[in-house]
Structure 1
C-alpha cells in the first residue's frame, strides 16, 4: 500500500465500522422497545424498516453526488448525521418520533457504501487488500454494536435512552477525525485509464439515460443478485436476538436481581465471525472469479437456512457451531458482490452503480425487516428460515447465470 491507499483505508474503515455499529445496535433495542412502547414485532419491525429503507434509497442520490463532488465530504457528513440521529433516538417519546430519528440515521448511513466503495475502486492501487480491511472494519462494528449495546444496557439497568445518547458520541467525534484525513481523489472525475470525464447528472432525464445504460448491461443480473442478498441479510438478522431468547438452549437468565440475555452475546459472536468472512472474501476477490465466490456462497446460505431451526433445537453446542458458520458465510459474500459491481459497470458511472447496488441491498432488502416481523407475529421461525432458503436459491441462480455467461464468452 502507498500513502494514499493507507489514507483511503483509514477513512473507509472509520466510516464503515460505525455505520454497522449503529445498524446492529438496533436489533438489541428491539426487546426493550417492544416493552417500552407496548408494541408488536410487526410494528417495531416496520419502524426499523423506515430507517433501513432510507439506508438503501439514499444510496441513489449518494451515488450521484459521489460522481460529482467526491467521496470524503460525503463520508464526513455520514458520520455527523448518524451521531445526530442517535441523539434523536435517545429522546424519542413514541414510535413515530423513533421512526423519524431512524429515518435520519438511514439517510446519513446511506452515503457510506456508494462513497466509500467508489473511493476504493477508483483510487486504490491494492483494491483487494483495501476491500478486505474495509470489510473487516464493517464486521468489527457489526459485532461491537450489539455487544456494546448489550453491556451498556446491563450497566445502566436497561436505560435505553441513556445508552443511545452514549452511542451517539463516537460518530460525532469520528466526523472530526474523518475531515482531517488527507485523501487524494485525483481520479474521481476520470475513468481508470485517464479517459472520459464522469457524467454529471443534472436532470431527471440524464439520470434515466445513465441508468438505462447500466441496466442494459449485465449489471441488471448483479442487481437482482444483490436484492436477493439484501432480503436474506435483513430477514435473517433483524429479529435473530429476539428468536434466540425463545430457543431452549439460550433462554434469558434471571439472576442477581436482573435479566441476562445470552442470546445477545451469541448474536454478537455470530456477527464477529463475519470479520473473518469479510477478510477471506476480500482476499479471494483478487484470486478467484467473483462469480464462483458468489455461487458457492449462496448455496451455503440456502443450506444454513434449512438447518437453522432444527439445529437450534439440538442443544447449545450445535447452535453455536452453526451460528459461527452462518456469520462467516453471510459476510463472506459481500466483498464478492462489491467486486462484481466493479467488474460489470463502467468506471465513469461507478458511483451511481453502487448507489443502485445499495438501494437493492438495503432499500429493497429493508422490506424483509417488516416481513420477518409479520412472519414471526403470525407464523413461526421455521417458516421464516424456509423462505430465506428460497431467497438464497434465487440469489444463487443469478450468480450462476453470471458464471455461465462469462464461461460462454471465454469459449
Structure 2
C-alpha cells in the first residue's frame, strides 16, 4: 500500500531529523582524536568533557518527552535540529578561541538538543502516520545512514581541512533541514483524529506529570520499558566495544592496508558495513510490524541476538570470511528489533501521553542502556568470553520479558495489542 501524502510528508521530515541526530553523534568521536592532539590534554580529560553530552542525549529524553506532549512534536524537532547545528557552530568557534571549555559547552548544548529528537520524532510518527510500519522502517534506515555517514564525512573532510572548518561544515545539513521542516505541511495527529486529547496539552503541571507517569507504569508500558532497557544494554555494549574487539583480531591482518592510508583501520570498514546492513534490518523489521504483534517479533529477534552473542567467540577464530558474515547478520538483527519496540510503545500507550512514553523509552534505551559501557569495560578486561556471555544475558532477559508480554500480560493495555496495520 502506497503512503498517503500526509504519511510521506511526516516520513521525509522525521527521516531528515533521525539521520542528522546520528550524523552529529557519530562525527564527535572523530573530532575527539584531533582534540586530543590539539589541546594537549589527556584522554581522561576529554572523556570527562564528552561523557556529560552523551549522558544528556539519553537522560534528556524524559523531560523532552514531557515537552513534546505540551508543545507538539514538529516544533520540538525543529528546535532540536537548530540546536544541534548551533552547538556545532559553537564548537567550531571554540577552535579559534583555543578553549577546551568552550568545546565542552558546545558538546553539552548538542546533547541537550539531540535528546529531544527520539521522543518527538517517534511521537509524531505514532500519532500522524497511518502506515506506521513502513514509516518506522524508512525512519530507521535514515538513522543508520546518519550513523555511517557522520564519521565518514568527518574523517574525509579532516584530510583537507582544519577541524574548525569541518565542524562548521557538519552543521550545515542541520540548518538546511530546519528550512525544509519549516516548509513541511502535514497533520501531526491524523492517525488519532478520533482521540480528542491527542494534540499537545495546553498546560502540564507537576501533578499531571506524576499522574501520567503512574498511569503508564501501572500498565503494560512498564514491561515494554523493561524490554527496551535490556535492548539498550545489549545495543550500547556491543556497538561501543565491537570496533576495539575487531581491531584486536589476528584475522584483520588479512586486510592490511598500505602505509599511505594512515589512520584507516581495516576493521573499521567491517564496522561501517555492519551499520549499512542495519539499514536493511530496519526496513524489514518495520515492514514486519504490520504483520506480527510487537511482543512476538521482539521475542524472536532477542533469541537470535542471544545466539549471535554466544557465537562471536568461536567465530573470531574461524577466519576473516566467517567474521564478516557474522557481523553482517548481527547488524541486520540488531537494528531489525528497533521498529518492533517503537511500535510497541505506540500500541500500548494512549496518544495523549505518547511524547512522555517515548521519553521514558529512550531514557531506558540510551540512558540506562549506557550502563553496559561501564560493565562491558570491566568484564572485557577479565575475558572476551565473559563479555559476550554478559551481552547474551541481556538478550535472554529481553526474550523472557517479550515472551511474557506475548503470553498475555497485554490484557492490561489500554489499547488493542495487535499492530495497527491489521485494522486497515
TM normalised by structure 2 equals 0.86
Q: 3-state SS of the aligned residue for 1:82?
A: helix
Equivalent position of 1:324 in the other structure: 328
Q: Separation in 2 of the partners of 1:38 and 1:314? A: 40
Equivalent position of 1:335 in the other structure: 339
- Contact 2:124–2:188 (Cα < 8 Å) also in 1: yes
1:389/1:31 CA distance change after superposition, 3 Å: farther
- Contact 2:232–2:368 (Cα < 8 Å) also in 1: yes
Kindly provide the CA deviation profile for residues 168-213 of structure 1, in whole angstroms up to 9, marking residues without a partner as x.
222122222222212222559xx54233466555222221111000
**Counterpart among 219, 222, 243 of residue 221 in structure 2:** 219
1:49/1:373 CA distance change after superposition, 3 Å: farther
More off after superposition, 378-387 vs 132-141: 378-387
Q: 3-state SS of the aligned residue for 1:366?
A: helix
Q: Separation in 2 of the partners of 1:96 and 1:150? A: 23
More off after superposition, 293-302 vs 254-263: 254-263
- Contact 1:201–1:207 (Cα < 8 Å) also in 2: no
- Contact 1:46–1:369 (Cα < 8 Å) also in 2: no
Cα distance, 1:371 vs. partner? Answer: 4.0
**Counterpart among 173, 176, 186 of residue 173 in structure 1:** 176
**Counterpart among 388, 391, 399 of residue 388 in structure 1:** 391
Matches within 5 A, 1:112-127: 112-127=117-132
Matches within 5 A, 1:91-130: 91=94, 98-130=103-135
1:306/1:101 CA distance change after superposition, 3 Å: farther
- Contact 2:125–2:135 (Cα < 8 Å) also in 1: yes
More off after superposition, 19-28 vs 114-123: 19-28
More off after superposition, 94-103 vs 257-266: 94-103
- Contact 1:129–1:283 (Cα < 8 Å) also in 2: yes
- Contact 2:197–2:351 (Cα < 8 Å) also in 1: no
More off after superposition, 344-353 vs 89-98: 89-98
Kindly provide the CA deviation profile for residues 5-59 of structure 1, in whole angstroms up to 9, marking residues without a partner as x.
111111001101111222233454565566666645x776665442232112222
Matches within 5 A, 1:243-322: 243-250=245-252, 253=257, 255-256=259-260, 258-322=262-326
1:223/1:70 CA distance change after superposition, 3 Å: same
**Gap runs ≥5 in structure 1:** none
- Contact 1:27–1:238 (Cα < 8 Å) also in 2: no
- Contact 2:310–2:392 (Cα < 8 Å) also in 1: yes
1:192/1:246 CA distance change after superposition, 3 Å: same
More off after superposition, 167-176 vs 256-265: 256-265
Kindly provide the CA deviation profile for residues 128-170 of structure 1, in whole angstroms up to 9, marking residues without a partner as x.
22111111111111222233334334x338x555433332222
Is 1:25 matched up with 2:27?
yes
Q: Separation in 2 of the partners of 1:211 and 1:390? A: 29
Q: 3-state SS of the aligned residue for 1:195?
A: coil
Count how many residue pairs are aligned between Structure 1 and Structure 2: 404
Q: Separation in 1 of the partners of 2:239 and 2:371? A: 13
Equivalent position of 2:421 in the other structure: none
Cα distance, 1:216 vs. partner? Answer: 0.3
Q: What's the RMSD between the two structures over aligned residues?
A: 2.8
- Contact 1:7–1:182 (Cα < 8 Å) also in 2: yes
**Gap runs ≥5 in structure 2:** 418-424
Q: Separation in 1 of the partners of 2:261 and 2:195? A: 66
Equivalent position of 1:195 in the other structure: 196
1:285/1:232 CA distance change after superposition, 3 Å: same
1:161/1:232 CA distance change after superposition, 3 Å: farther
Q: 3-state SS of the aligned residue for 2:337?
A: helix
More off after superposition, 59-68 vs 252-261: 252-261
TM normalised by structure 1 equals 0.88
Equivalent position of 2:80 in the other structure: 78
More off after superposition, 353-362 vs 126-135: 126-135
Q: Separation in 2 of the partners of 1:163 and 1:371? A: 34
Q: 3-state SS of the aligned residue for 2:408?
A: helix
1:164/1:197 CA distance change after superposition, 3 Å: closer
- Contact 2:127–2:189 (Cα < 8 Å) also in 1: no
1:29/1:6 CA distance change after superposition, 3 Å: same
Equivalent position of 2:406 in the other structure: 403
Q: Separation in 2 of the partners of 1:243 and 1:35? A: 24
Is 1:145 matched up with 2:147?
no
Kindly provide the CA deviation profile for residues 327-386 of structure 1, in whole angstroms up to 9, marking residues without a partner as x.
10110000000011111111121111111111111111223334444555x445443322
